């Protein structure tokens, strides 16, 4: 399935996916809660034994031209699509969160959690279908081809006929719970939910905060705002994060492994410490 999926182009992809959805052994479903980074996105999951593909359909106004950020692999640093459709939109710096970033981190999450402790690995592929004309499409493909992830990824852009047809006709589904894909998704969601529940625990955050304060032993005066701001700047420089990226719900949603969530919670504990000192 994945091998054939990689060979498709904007003219053949709708017909191929429609045919795939009619196969009795292929699991096909739309997942709205696959993972936090894909919330409210149109994501189809296709799966047969040993293979799973995430197909994200991204629709924007017809004629949209965008430039994709090429650094889209960091889970805590969202990248963007810059709108170049009109000169005014370019001047205003219009942009939106990169669907590449959303899909890449979702595929990474699925691949890592699904194959954790699995003897026979499930091959994971991610496909982005967008009607946006990506002006640096060749560079995007080059970056993707050099990513050393265990899953593969492809992008089809300028797919206006596909998106027009999809909005009217949609794609066929095969949601049989006895197929391998249904089993894979149940297993993945169970692991994801368990990991998130463990990491969001308030007592754990409080413990991390207490440990951090004891370990670092910051001698900061409560009225010394300049010192606090200096420490906050150092924290942002160290991790390349802005204030919004340190929001606990946003940050945890971007994390894809338990280790990433643990590292984020330590950073979150630091932020809470700085805020307490300022108050």
Q: For 157-188, what is each residue's pLDDT tens digit?
A: 999 999 999 988 889 999 998 899 999 998 88
> Which residue in this structure is represented by tokens 């980074």?
37
Q: What are phi and psi of 210, to 5 degrees?
A: -65, -45
Q: What are phi and psi of 53, to 5 degrees?
A: -120, 135
Structure confidence by residue, pLDDT tens digits, 75-89? 778 899 999 999 888
Structure confidence by residue, pLDDT tens digits, 229-276? 444 444 444 444 444 444 555 555 556 565 666 666 666 666 665 555
What one-character-per-residue DSSP string does 91-114 give? HHT-EEE-HHHHHHHHHHHHHHHH
Residues 158 and 133 in one domain: yes
Structure confidence by residue, pLDDT tens digits, 29-67? 998 777 766 766 779 999 998 999 999 999 999 999 999
Pick from 142, 160, 193: which residue ends a domain? 193
Residues 25 and 103 in one domain: yes
| 220 contact partners, CB below 8 Å, separation of at least 6 | 227, 228, 231, 277
Residues 103 and 122 in one domain: yes
Residues 134 and 212 in one domain: no
pLDDT-based confidence at residue 13 (cuts at 50, 70, 90): very high
Across 12-21, 143-152, 244-253, 262-271, least confident range: 244-253
* CA dihedral (70, 111, 5, 130) positive or negative: negative
Domain that holds residue 14: 2-193
Residues 6 and 65 in one domain: yes
Q: Using alpha carbons only, what angle is made at residue 86 by residues 83 and 88, rounded to the nearest 5 degrees?
A: 95
Residues 49 and 161 in one domain: yes
Number of domains in the chain: 2
Q: What does the alpha-carbon distance between residue 5 and residue 112 come to, in Å, rounded to a whole number? A: 21
CA-to-CA dists, residue 244 to 23, 55, 77, 241, angstroms: 44, 29, 10, 8
Residues 67 and 171 in one domain: yes
Structure confidence by residue, pLDDT tens digits, 85-119? 998 888 888 999 999 998 998 899 899 999 988 88
Look at residue 219 and tell me whether its pLDDT is greater than 50.
Answer: no
Pick from 170, 193, 216: which residue ends a domain? 193
Long-range (24+ apart) CB contacts under 8 A made by 210-215 are: 211/269, 212/266, 212/269, 212/270, 212/273, 213/273
Q: Residue 93 has what pLDDT?
A: 87
Q: Residue 150 has what pLDDT?
A: 86
Pick from 193, 222, 245: which residue ends a domain? 193
Residues 18 and 109 in one domain: yes
Look at residue 200 and tell me whether its pLDDT is greater than 90.
Answer: no
Q: Residue 124 has what pLDDT?
A: 95
Look at residue 202 and tell me whether its pLDDT is greater than 80.
Answer: no
Output Rg (C-alpha) for the chain, integer angstroms.
Answer: 21
């Amino acid at each position: 399935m994945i091998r054939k999926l990689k060979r498709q182009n904007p003219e053949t992809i709708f017909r191929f996916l429609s045919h795939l959805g009619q196969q009795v052994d292929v699991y096909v479903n739309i997942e709205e809660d696959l993972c936090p980074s894909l919330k409210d996105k149109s994501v189809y999951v296709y799966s047969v034994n040993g293979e799973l593909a995430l197909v994200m359909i991204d629709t924007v106004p017809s004629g949209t031209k965008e430039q994709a950020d090429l650094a889209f692999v960091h889970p805590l640093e969202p990248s963007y699509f810059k709108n170049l459709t009109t000169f005014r939109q370019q001047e205003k710096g219009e942009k939106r969160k990169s669907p590449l970033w959303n899909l890449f981190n979702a595929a990474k999450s699925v691949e890592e959690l699904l194959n954790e402790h699995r003897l026979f690995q499930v091959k994971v592929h991610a496909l982005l279908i967008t009607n946006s004309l990506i002006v640096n499409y060749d560079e995007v493909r080059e970056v993707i081809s050099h990513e050393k992830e265990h899953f593969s990824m492809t992008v089809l852009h300028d797919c206006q006929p596909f998106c027009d047809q999809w909005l009217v006709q949609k794609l066929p589904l095969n949601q049989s719970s006895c197929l391998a894909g249904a089993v894979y998704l149940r297993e993945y969601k169970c692991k994801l939910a368990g990991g998130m529940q463990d990491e969001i625990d308030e007592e754990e955050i409080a413990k991390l905060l207490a440990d951090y304060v004891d370990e670092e032993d910051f001698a900061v005066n409560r009225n010394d705002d300049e010192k606090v701001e200096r420490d906050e700047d150092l924290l942002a420089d160290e991790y390349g994060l802005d204030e919004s990226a340190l929001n606990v719900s946003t940050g945890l949603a971007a994390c894809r492994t338990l280790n990433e969530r643990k590292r984020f919670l330590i950073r979150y504990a630091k932020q809470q410490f700085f805020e307490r000192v300022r108050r």
